């Protein structure tokens, strides 16, 4: 019974969210795209640097 109440509540809240959301404008989409792309590049670069360091350290010792 408790599961049904939680599911019903979730569906009700989801419906409310979908009713107030809207499609982003071209400008908003471009901004989000740039920010996401920059974040991916930064995280990828940090991961690459850590990987290079992890490969170099065992050779030193």
Kindly write down the DSSP assignment for every residue of 1-61, as one continuous string. Answer: -HHHHHHHHHHHHHHHHHHH--PPPHHHHHHHHHHHHHHHHHHHHHHHHHHHHHHHHHHH-
The model's pTM is 0.62
How far apart (Å, rounded) are the C-alpha atoms in residues 27 and 30?
Answer: 5
Place 35 in a pLDDT band, splitting at 50, 70 and 90: very high
Domain residue ranges in the chain:
2-60
Tell me which range, 6-10, 22-26, 43-47, is most confidently predicted by mean pLDDT: 43-47
Residue with tokens 């740039």: 34
């Amino acid at each position: 019974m408790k599961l049904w109440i939680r599911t019903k509540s979730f569906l009700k809240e989801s419906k409310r969210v979908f009713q107030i959301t809207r499609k982003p404008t071209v400008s908003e989409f471009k901004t989000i795209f740039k920010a996401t792309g920059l974040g991916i590049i930064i995280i990828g670069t940090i991961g690459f640097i850590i990987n290079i360091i992890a490969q170099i350290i065992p050779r030193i010792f």
